[in-house]
C-alpha cells in the first residue's frame, strides 16, 4: 500500500468529493466537511471481476504492440535518415569531384593558352632580334659598299653610275669556312643541290642523296629537317617563309613540286603539284615558277597550272640543268652543263647571249642575288664565277679549289651578310666571306 508523503501513513480512504486518496490524518485535517469518503478496501472489493479489469491485459498488449510498431518505425526512420545522410555526403563528394575536374580542365586550358602565348611572344621577340641583327648586317654591308663607292666614284650626283657600279661589283673570296651539314641518321653522303635564304636569315638546303631538306640557322647549324618521298633536286624561296622544292624521281616519268613552309621553327610540307616531265631545277619570280626538266624550261603559275614552255634544247641531256631569274623578271639564266655554257634568255625564250670560260667547266649551281649579281658554279673546274649581267661575260672567279671548293653543286648569295654559300658533293657546305 502506498503511503502519504506528508504524514507517512498508509493511503486507506478515497474522498469522492475531491477525487483523491488520503490517509487517516489527511481525512481528519482536510476532509472533515466532505460528504463522501470511502474506505479503499471497500472500493476495491469486486474490482478484479469487473469487465474493465478483465480487458486490461488485452489493452496493455495492444499498447505494447503499438509501442513496438512505433519503435520499429523509428528504427526504420533512423536507417532512412542515415541513408539520406550518406547519399547527401556522396552527392557532395561527387559534386566536389566534378568541380575539381572542371577546375583541373580550366587550369590545364589556361596553362596551355599561357604556354602558347609565351611561345608566340618568345618567337616574336626572337624574330625581332633576328630582324635587328639582319638589319644591322645589312646596314654594315651598305656602309661598306658606300665606302667602296665613294672611293671609286666621287660624283654622287650620277645615281645611275652608282647603281651600275654596285651591280657589277667584283667579288672575291676573303676567307672561307666549312660547315658540316650531315646528321647522324643520314644514310648517304650529303649532296647539296640547292640552297636558298629565308627572310629571317636562315637557310634551307636540298640534300639529294638523303632525300630530305634541312633547315640551318644563321650560324649554319642544322635545326630541323624534313624527309621527302623522293630526291630534292633543287629549291627556291618564293614568298614569306615558303620554299618550293623540285622533287625528282628518276624511276617515274613525272615529278612533283612541293611547297614547304617554316612554322614555329619547323619545316612543314603544305601542298604539291605534279608535272608530266622531270623537275631538276626551279626558280621563282613575281608569282611564277620556272622549272627546268634537264633539256627544257617551263613556266607554271603559283597554283601549279601550266603557263608555257619558253626554251628547249634536246641536243643532249642536262642542257637545262639549272635556272635563275633576274630581279626584274626580264632576264633568265640557264646552265648548260653538257656544253659548259651559261645561256641568257629573254622572257620569250630567245637566246640573248652565252658565256663560256675555262673557269666554268660543267656549270651546275646558279643564283642571282636581289641586287642582280650572277654567280655560277663550275663543278668540274671547282670554281664559282661571277658573270656580268649586262655585258654577259665573266667578271671574276670568286672562289677556287684552293679556297675550299670540291665539286660545287649549288650556290646562294646572302644579301644580308654578303656571304656566298656553296653546296658541295660531300658532308659540308663552304661559306665565303666576300670583299
C-alpha cell at 92: 557532395
Q: Name the more confident of 25 and 270.
A: 270
Residue 215: strand pairing partners: 204, 224
Over range 94-119, report the average pLDDT.
90
Contact status, residue 204 vs residue 215, Cβ threshold 8 Å: yes
Contact status, residue 427 vs residue 178, Cβ threshold 8 Å: no
Over range 213-222, report the average pLDDT.
95
**Phi and psi of 289, rounded to 5°?**
-110, 130
Burial class (CB in 10 A: 0-12, 13-18, 19+), 54: exposed
Helix (DSSP H) and strand (DSSP E) numbers for the chain: 4, 27
**Phi and psi of 112, rounded to 5°?**
-60, -45
Angle at 370 between CA 179 and CA 387, to 5 degrees: 80
Q: On the CB side of 119, how many CA atoms lie within 13 Å of its CA?
A: 9
**Is the torsion defined by CA of 34, 35, 36, 37 positive or negative?**
positive
Q: Which residue has the cell 617515274?
A: 252
Q: On the CB side of 80, how many CA atoms lie within 13 Å of its CA?
A: 6
For residue 273, how many other CB atoms are within 10 A of its CB? Answer: 16
Among 140-149, 157-166, 265-274, the range of highest mean pLDDT: 265-274
Residue 186 CB contacts under 8 Å (≥ 6 apart), including other chains: 207, 210, 212, 427
Confidence grade of residue 364 (pLDDT, cut at 50, 70, 90)? very high
**Phi and psi of 78, rounded to 5°?**
-65, -45
Residue 367's closest CA among 414, 328, 400, 330?
A: 414
Residue 116 CB contacts under 8 Å (≥ 6 apart), including other chains: none
pLDDT mean across residues, the chain: 86
Distances 53 to 1, 14, 64, 137, 156 between C-alpha atoms, Å: 19, 19, 17, 123, 142
Residue 396: strand pairing partners: 386
pLDDT in tens, 366-405: 999 888 899 999 999 999 999 987 767 888 999 999 888 8
DSSP secondary structure letter of residue 170: P
Q: Strand runs (DSSP E) across 60-191, as ranges? A: 173-180
Residue 14's closest CA among 32, 36, 38?
A: 38
Alpha carbon distance 418, 413 (integer Å)? 7
pLDDT for 4 equals: 81
Residue 408 CB contacts under 8 Å (≥ 6 apart), including other chains: 364, 365, 377, 378, 379, 382, 383, 384, 422, 423, 424, 430
Confidence grade of residue 59 (pLDDT, cut at 50, 70, 90)? confident
C-alpha cell at 78: 533512423
pLDDT in tens, 116-147: 888 888 877 877 776 776 676 667 666 766 76
How much of the chain exceeds pLDDT 70, in percent?
A: 89
Alpha carbon distance 403, 183 (integer Å)? 25
DSSP secondary structure letter of residue 49: G
SS3 208: coil
Contact status, residue 14 vs residue 21, Cβ threshold 8 Å: yes
What is the reported pTM? Answer: 0.64
pLDDT for 145 equals: 62
Amino acid at each position: 500500500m502506498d503511503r502519504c508523503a506528508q504524514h507517512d501513513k498508509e493511503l486507506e480512504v478515497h474522498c469522492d468529493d475531491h477525487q483523491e486518496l488520503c490517509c487517516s490524518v489527511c481525512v481528519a485535517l482536510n476532509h472533515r466537511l466532505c460528504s463522501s469518503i470511502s474506505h479503499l478496501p471497500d472500493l476495491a472489493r469486486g474490482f478484479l471481476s469487473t469487465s474493465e479489469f478483465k480487458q486490461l491485459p488485452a489493452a496493455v498488449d495492444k499498447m505494447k504492440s503499438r509501442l513496438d510498431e512505433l519503435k520499429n518505425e523509428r528504427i526504420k526512420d533512423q536507417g532512412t535518415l542515415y541513408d539520406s545522410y550518406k547519399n547527401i555526403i556522396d552527392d557532395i563528394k561527387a559534386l566536389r569531384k566534378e568541380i575539381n575536374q572542371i577546375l583541373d580542365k580550366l587550369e590545364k586550358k589556361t596553362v596551355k593558352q599561357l604556354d602558347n602565348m609565351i611561345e608566340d611572344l618568345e618567337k616574336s621577340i626572337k624574330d625581332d632580334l633576328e630582324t635587328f641583327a639582319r638589319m644591322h648586317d645589312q646596314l654594315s654591308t651598305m656602309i661598306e659598299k658606300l665606302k667602296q663607292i665613294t672611293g671609286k666614284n666621287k660624283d654622287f650626283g650620277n645615281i645611275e653610275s652608282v647603281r651600275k657600279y654596285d651591280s657589277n661589283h667584283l667579288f672575291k673570296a676573303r676567307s672561307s669556312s666549312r660547315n658540316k651539314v650531315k646528321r647522324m641518321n643520314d644514310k648517304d653522303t650529303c649532296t647539296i643541290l640547292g640552297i636558298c635564304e629565308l627572310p629571317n636569315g636562315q637557310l634551307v638546303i636540298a640534300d639529294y642523296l638523303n632525300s630530305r631538306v634541312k633547315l640551318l640557322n644563321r650560324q649554319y647549324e642544322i635545326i630541323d629537317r624534313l624527309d621527302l618521298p623522293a630526291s630534292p633536286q633543287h629549291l627556291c624561296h618564293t614568298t614569306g617563309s615558303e620554299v618550293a622544292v623540285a622533287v625528282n624521281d628518276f624511276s617515274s616519268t613525272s615529278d612533283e613540286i612541293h611547297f614547304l613552309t617554316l612554322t614555329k621553327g619547323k619545316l612543314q610540307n603544305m601542298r604539291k603539284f605534279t608535272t608530266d616531265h622531270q623537275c631538276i631545277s626551279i626558280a621563282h619570280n613575281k608569282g611564277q615558277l620556272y622549272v627546268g626538266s634537264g633539256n627544257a624550261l617551263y613556266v607554271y603559275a603559283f597554283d601549279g597550272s601550266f603557263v608555257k614552255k619558253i626554251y628547249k634544247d634536246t641536243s643532249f641531256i642536262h642542257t637545262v640543268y639549272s635556272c635563275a631569274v633576274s630581279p626584274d623578271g626580264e632576264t633568265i639564266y640557264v646552265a648548260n652543263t653538257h656544253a659548259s655554257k651559261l645561256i641568257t634568255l629573254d622572257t620569250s625564250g630567245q637566246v640573248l647571249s652565252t658565256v663560256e670560260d675555262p673557269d666554268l667547266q660543267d656549270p651546275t649551281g646558279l643564283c642571282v642575288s636581289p641586287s642582280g649579281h650572277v654567280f655560277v658554279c663550275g663543278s668540274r673546274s671547282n670554281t664559282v664565277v661571277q658573270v656580268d649581267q649586262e655585258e654577259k661575260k665573266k667578271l671574276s672567279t670568286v672562289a677556287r679549289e684552293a679556297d675550299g671548293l670540291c665539286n660545287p653543286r649549288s650556290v646562294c648569295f646572302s644579301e644580308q651578310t654578303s656571304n656566298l654559300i656553296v653546296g658541295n658533293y660531300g658532308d659540308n657546305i663552304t661559306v665565303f666571306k666576300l670583299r
